DNA sequence: CGCTATGTTGATCCATATCAATAAGTGTGG
DNA sequence: CCACACTTATTGATATGGATCAACATAGCG
């Protein structure tokens, strides 16, 4: 403990950013100061591997800016599991259980990451009852999100997953009929469990439903047609949409 | 509240069975008595739907005997998500979040189920700090199990999933080279994300690796050959194996 | 401005689903 | 306890979603 890599101790200017997460907002000031004392902030360029599955979980990570891809590998294959955007934590479960990471993480953009020593998180968990309860809420949320993702994969074809993904993104874009994909199509294809080639063709297949694609720009010309095809369900597609500092919408 | 369906209040004879779950073992005697006071036990025949996805979560369920299939549906399709065996709880996350069930549940055998009113669970969660911490451990466990299942589906072919499933079952059977499938092949195929026809052919494809199947009886003649093909990974295949009252093996 | 990574398109292959028919269990009631 | 009925499992034939391989186009980026 105490070894500083780069970036040094966490500047107090970030204290507020991290604190606004549900996970930390109800902690006692004491516990929070204690946690931050051993934490630090690092800046990463894009495409940097931060953690690798199988390693022991030394830090709880908080994405302050940028974007992080969680992915998994087996037998030479690789798949994207989730994309984490500010301001959220990741690998909380591994931290709490003091168990190896189940997923790897790499930046997909230039990112600023807060690193909180796992043993400090566990100490706060033991000492602070409200923090323990906040972790329950967070983990229940994470659990339900993975269950939804798993239903998505097992119950839908790749075309249906894409259609529903676009509708979810439209919601995140505030309902606008034009928005940009938040990352490369290559990453999207892996996230949706398909190949880049298949994704390319899937976009084509959605033209009859009024989906127009130009690079990363998506135009949903006829939301009703797309919805009729996609048949979105709150039990799969309602994901916690984030407005900085608060989760909006029950999940 | 207070409406008794059938089975009446929980007989004290079950108090110990439920208490031995990690989830409840560290509760104060007070909180535990409080929880049990409003709970009851019901016996179900096989193939009975107990809860349906989308409903609000009125009870935390505990499987005391038998087996329960968690499954999910969308647009006329259905898939098995997990099988819950004694003694375990299910739908804890929905209970805690007071959110709708994401999965349905039906008995696959004659089963005895304890029903604990969700509001009592939430009350205990608020009042009992140790219980809150036990829930964290349980949810982290659940989360990691779903992540593993999701990796299994996204990274492996159906044949590879079957091979690894058999190896996991072998572990559960204490390493014996002969054991029985714990439920119908139809259910197994859905759990593994394939059709019954495909499962039937998959078993055939494993013959070269020394897998002999006769009804539900499995004989793994050459574990080393099967392992060489299946390439099991602790980051996917180590699932919490249960010895009544305790989880054995880190997950 | 050219290199390299990303994305598209076409041809083909493979895994898995579907449809159809049969066989084998399994449970139920006479 | 057996016979029937119904469900589950197997097997074969075929269809299809999606992967792979290959070539080319395009877009970022240094």
The pLDDT tens digits for A139-159 are 999 999 999 999 999 999 999
pLDDT mean over A61-78: 97
Contact A228, A181 (CB under 8 A): no
Contact A82, A165 (CB under 8 A): no
Looking at residue B14, its pLDDT comes to 84
Looking at residue A251, its pLDDT comes to 58
pLDDT mean over A71-87: 96
Quickly give A240 CA vs C24 C1' distance in Å: 49
Q: B22 touching A, CB under 8 A?
A: no
Contact A162, A195 (CB under 8 A): no
For chain B, the farthest-separated pair of C-alpha atoms sits apart, in whole angstroms, at 58
Distance from CA of A131 to the nearest CA of B (A): 10
- What's the mean pLDDT when you consider all of chain A? 92
Chain B residues lying within 8 Å of A136, measured CB to CB = 96, 125, 132, 135-136, 139
User: Would the Cβ of B232 be found within 7 angstroms of any atom in strand D?
Assistant: no
CB atoms closer than 10 angstroms to residue B239:
17
Among A6-10, B4-8, B115-119, B159-163, the least confident range: B4-8
Looking at residue A249, its pLDDT comes to 47
Q: pTM here? A: 0.94
Looking at residue B245, its pLDDT comes to 47
B198-227, pLDDT tens digit by residue? 999 999 999 999 999 999 999 999 999 999
Looking at residue A242, its pLDDT comes to 52
B106-149, pLDDT tens digit by residue? 999 999 999 999 999 999 999 999 999 999 999 999 999 999 99
Distance from CA of A1 to the nearest CA of B (A): 24
Query: A244, exposed or middle or buried, with CB in 10 Å at 0-12, 13-18, 19+?
Result: exposed
pLDDT mean over A40-54: 94
CB-nearest partner of B102 from A93, A135, A147: A147
B57-77, pLDDT tens digit by residue? 999 999 999 999 999 999 999
Whole-angstrom Cα distance, residue A138 to residue A153? 23
What residue ranges define each of the domains in chain A, with the CATH number in brackets? 7-151 (2.60.120.10), 157-232 (1.10.10.10)
Share of chain A above pLDDT 70, in %: 92
Contact A60, A97 (CB under 8 A): no
Chain B residues lying within 8 Å of A99, measured CB to CB = 144, 250-251
Looking at residue B247, its pLDDT comes to 45
Looking at residue A246, its pLDDT comes to 44
For residue B242, what pLDDT band results from cuts at 50, 70 and 90? low
Looking at residue A48, its pLDDT comes to 94
Chain B residues lying within 8 Å of A153, measured CB to CB = 150, 153-154
| Helices B196-205 and B158-172, packing angle to 10 deg | 80
Q: How many CA atoms lie within 13 A of B19 on its CB side?
A: 16
Whole-angstrom Cα distance, residue A146 to residue B141? 13
CB-nearest partner of B231 from A75, A137, A235: A75
For residue A150 the two structure tokens come to 């798993």
Residues 155-184 of B with CB under 7 A from strand D: 184
Strand C bases near protein CB (under 7 Å) are 6-11, 15-20, 25-26
Chain B residues lying within 8 Å of A54, measured CB to CB = 234-235
Whole-angstrom Cα distance, residue A203 to residue A207? 7
Q: Please name the residues in contact with B211: beta carbons below 8 A apart, sequence gap of 6 or more.
A: B163, B166, B203, B218, B219, B220, B221, B226
Q: A235 touching B, CB under 8 A?
A: yes
Looking at residue A241, its pLDDT comes to 59
């Amino acid at each position: 403990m105490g070894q500083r890599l780069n970036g040094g101790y966490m500047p107090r200017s970030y204290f507020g950013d991290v604190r606004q997460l549900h996970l930390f907002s109800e902690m006692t000031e004491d516990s929070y100061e204690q946690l931050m004392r051993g934490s630090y902030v690092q800046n990463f360029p894009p495409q940097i591997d931060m953690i690798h599955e199988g390693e022991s979980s030394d830090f709880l990570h908080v994405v302050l800016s940028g974007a992080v891809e969680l992915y998994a590998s087996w037998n030479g294959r690789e798949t994207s599991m989730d994309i984490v955007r500010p301001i959220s934590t990741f690998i909380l479960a591994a931290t709490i259980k003091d168990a190896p990471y189940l997923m790897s993480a790499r930046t997909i953009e230039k990112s600023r990451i807060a690193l909180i020593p796992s043993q400090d998180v566990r100490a706060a968990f033991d000492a602070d009852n409200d923090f323990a309860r906040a972790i329950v809420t967070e983990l229940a949320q994470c659990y339900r999100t993975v269950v939804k993702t798993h239903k998505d994969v097992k119950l839908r074809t790749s075309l249906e997953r894409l259609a529903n993904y676009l509708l979810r993104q439209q919601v995140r874009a505030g309902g606008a009929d034009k928005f940009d994909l938040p990352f490369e199509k290559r990453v999207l294809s892996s996230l949706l469990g398909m190949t880049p080639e298949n994704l390319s063709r899937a976009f084509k297949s959605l033209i009859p439903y009024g989906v127009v694609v130009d690079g990363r720009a998506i135009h949903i010309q006829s939301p009703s047609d797309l919805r009729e095809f996609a048949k979105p369900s709150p039990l799969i597609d309602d994901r916690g949409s984030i407005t900085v500092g608060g989760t909006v919408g029950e999940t």
